[in-house]
C-alpha cells in the first residue's frame, strides 16, 4: 500500500543520551541499542472505523521513538501493517451492508490523512494483509512443514493452528498466568474452546474457506490467515529475524504479540524476536476504554473538521505518559491550545534566553521512557522565561522551534 506523506525533520545540534524504553517482557525500562538501522514494527489499524484518539495516542508514542532514534543518527526502518481482512471488518461491513474492501479502503485513506495531519512520520513499508497474502500463507506452510503447526482433526474445516509449546518460551513476552492468557485469548479474537487443539491457547494460522467469507487460494488450500501470523510474516520479510522494537497498545500484549513473537521464533530459531516489546496505555472516555466495539469514540477527523489544530491534539495526548491509561477530556484540548498560543508567542520573539539547556532537557526527559509530561513542563518553563524576561540570544527562538518540531513533532 502507499504510505502517507513525510515531513521534513530539522537537524538539531549536539546529541542526546540513548533512548531507554519500557519492555513488557522483562518488566523494566532498559536502554535501546539499535545498530545503524533501527528496526521497528508497530501494529497498524483494523480499518473498520475512523482513527480515534486512542489510536492516535499509540501512533504518536511510537512517532516519538522514531524521532528520538533519528535524532541519535539512526536510520529508522519502520514497518506498519493494516489488518484489512479480519472478522471485525467483515462483521461491520455486513452490519452496514457495505463492501468490506471498500470499507477498508475508505478507513485506511482517512487514517493516512489523520496521520499526515498529526505530522506522524510515515513507515517505510505500510503493508495490508491482503497484499501480503502470498507471504503469509507461505510462512504458515513452512511452520506446518517444520512441525510447529498442525491441522485440527475436523473433516469439514481442517484449520491450521500453531503449537504454542514448540518454542519453549511461550508466555515470556506477556508474563501472564494461564488463567489470564485464557481470558484474553477468548476476549481478543482467540478460540480457546475450539475442539481438537493441542492447547486451548494455540492460535489460528489458517482458516479454511467458509461459505460466504472471502478466501484466497494457496498451497494450504483456500482460506484466510489468522491475525498474529499476518504481523509475523510482514515483519520477518522486511525487518529480518530480530528487531529492535515491537510496539502497540497494551491490549496487544496478549495474545497478539506473544503469538506473533512465537511464530517468528519458531520459524527463525532466534529468541527473542524483539529486543523491546513496548506497549502504550489505553485512552478512555467516560470511564471506559475508547473502542470501536463500545462506540465511545472521539475521532481525529471529527476534531479536524471542527478546525482543531492537530498540534493541539498532539500536545493534549503527549501531556500524559504513554504507558498510563488515561481519559480524554475536552479540558485537555483547552490546556493544549493555551500551551500552543504561549509557545508560539515565545517562538515569535526576535530574541530570547538561550535554548540549549532546554534542548538538553527535552532530550533527557524523552530518552527516559518518553517522559513527555516533564518535557512539556520544561517547554512551558522556557516559554514563560522568554516571555517574561525576553533575552538577547537571536538564535534561541529558531532553536526552540526546531527542537519542538524535531523531537515532539509540534510545529509552531
Can you say which residues are annotated as belonging to the binding site for L-cysteinyl-5'-AMP?
43-46, 58, 81-83, 227, 249-251, 283
Question: Out of ligand 5CA, Zn ion, none, which partner does residue 57 contact, by CB within 5 to 8 A per kind?
Answer: ligand 5CA
Edge-first strand order for the sheet with 288-289 is 288-289, 283-285, 326-327
The binding site for Zn(2+) comprises 43, 231, 256
- Residue 345 beta carbon to ligand 5CA: minimum distance, rounded to whole angstroms: 32
Q: Give the nearer residue to ligand 5CA in terms of CB position, either 317 or 407.
A: 317
Q: Shortest approach of ligand 5CA to residue 129 CB, angstroms?
A: 9
Smallest gap from Cβ 406 to ligand 5CA, in A, equals 24
Among Zn ion, ligand 5CA, none, partner that 58 touches (CB below 5 to 8 angstroms by kind)? ligand 5CA
User: Over the range 250-264, which residues count as b (16 or more CB within 10 Å of their CB) and which as e?
Assistant: ebbbbbbbbbbbbbb
From the centroid of its chain, how far is CA 376?
22
Find which of ligand 5CA, Zn ion, none residue 251 binds, CB within 5 to 8 Å per kind: ligand 5CA
Interface map 29-58 toward Zn ion (x if CB under 5 A): --------------x---------------
Q: Which is nearer to Zn ion, 231 or 262 (CB)?
A: 231
User: What cell numbers appear for 9 in the block?
Assistant: 525533520
**Residue placing its CB nearer to Zn ion in the complex, 231 or 283:** 231
Choose which of 231, 264, 318, 349 interacts with Zn ion (CB under 5 A). 231
Please give the annotated binding residues, written as ranges: 43-46, 58, 81-83, 227, 231, 249-251, 256, 283
Closer residue to Zn ion in complex, CB, 252/355: 252
Other beta carbons within 10 Å of 324: 11
Nearer CB in complex with ligand 5CA: 39/404: 39
Q: Which does 375 bind (CB under 5 to 8 A by kind): ligand 5CA, Zn ion, none?
A: none
Contacts with ligand 5CA, residue ranges (CB under 6 A) = 43-46, 54-55, 57-58, 81, 83, 231, 248-249, 251-252, 280, 282-283, 289-291
Q: How far is the CB of 308 from ligand 5CA (least distance, A)?
A: 19
Instruction: In angstroms, give the least distance from the CB of 289 to Zn ion.
Output: 18
Smaller CB separation from Zn ion, 81 or 372:
81
**Chain residues in the site for Zn ion (CB under 5 A):** 43, 231
Amino acid at each position: 500500500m502507499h504510505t502517507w506523506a513525510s515531513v521534513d525533520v530539522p537537524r538539531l545540534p549536539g546529541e542526546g543520551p540513548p533512548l531507554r524504553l519500557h519492555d513488557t517482557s522483562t518488566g523494566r525500562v532498559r536502554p535501546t541499542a539499535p545498530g545503524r538501522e533501527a528496526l521497528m514494527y508497530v501494529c497498524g489499524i483494523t480499518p473498520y472505523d475512523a482513527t480515534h484518539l486512542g489510536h492516535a495516542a499509540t501512533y504518536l508514542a511510537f512517532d516519538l521513538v522514531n524521532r528520538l532514534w533519528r535524532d541519535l543518527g539512526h536510520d529508522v526502518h519502520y514497518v506498519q501493517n493494516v489488518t484489512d481482512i479480519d472478522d471485525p471488518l467483515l462483521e461491520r461491513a455486513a452490519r452496514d451492508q457495505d463492501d468490506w474492501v471498500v470499507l477498508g479502503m475508505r478507513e485506511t485513506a482517512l487514517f493516512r490523512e489523520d496521520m499526515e495531519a498529526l505530522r506522524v512520520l510515515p513507515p517505510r513499508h505500510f503493508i495490508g494483509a491482503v497484499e501480503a497474502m502470498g507471504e503469509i500463507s507461505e510462512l504458515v506452510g513452512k511452520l506446518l512443514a517444520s512441525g510447529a503447526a498442525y491441522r485440527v482433526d475436523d473433516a469439514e474445516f481442517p484449520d491450521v493452528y500453531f503449537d504454542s509449546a514448540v518454542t519453549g518460551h511461550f508466555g515470556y513476552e506477556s508474563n501472564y498466568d494461564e488463567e489470564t492468557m485464557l481470558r484474553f485469548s477468548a476476549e481478543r479474537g482467540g478460540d480457546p474452546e475450539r475442539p481438537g487443539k493441542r492447547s486451548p491457547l494455540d492460535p489460528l494460522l489458517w482458516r479454511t474457506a467458509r461459505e460466504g467469507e472471502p478466501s484466497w487460494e494457496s498451497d494450504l488450500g483456500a482460506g484466510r490467515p489468522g491475525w498474529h501470523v499476518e504481523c509475523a510474516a510482514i515483519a520477518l520479510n522486511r525487518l529480518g529475524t530480530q528487531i529492535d522494537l515491537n510496539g502497540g497498545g497494551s491490549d496487544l500484549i496478549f495474545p497478539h504479540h506473544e503469538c506473533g513473537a512465537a511464530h517468528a521464533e519458531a520459524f527463525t530459531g532466534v529468541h527473542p524476536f524483539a529486543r523491546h516489546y513496548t506497549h502504550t496505555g489505553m485512552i478512555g472516555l467516560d470511564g471506559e476504554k475508547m473502542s470501536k466495539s463500545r462506540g465511545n469514540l472521539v475521532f481525529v477527523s471529527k476534531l479536524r473538521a471542527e478546525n482543531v489544530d492537530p498540534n493541539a491534539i498532539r500536545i493534549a495526548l503527549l501531556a500524559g505518559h504513554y504507558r498510563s491509561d488515561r481519559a480524554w477530556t475536552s479540558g485537555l484540548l483547552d490546556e493544549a491550545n493555551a500551551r500552543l498560543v504561549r509557545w508560539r508567542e515565545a517562538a515569535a520573539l526576535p530574541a530570547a534566553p538561550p535554548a540549549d539547556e532546554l534542548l538538553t532537557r527535552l532530550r533527557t526527559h524523552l530518552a527516559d521512557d518518553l517522559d513527555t509530561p516533564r518535557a512539556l513542563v520544561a517547554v512551558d518553563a522556557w516559554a514563560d522565561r522568554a516571555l517574561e524576561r525576553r533575552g538577547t540570544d537571536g538564535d534561541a527562538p529558531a532553536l526552540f522551534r526546531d527542537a519542538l518540531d524535531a523531537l515532539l513533532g509540534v510545529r509552531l
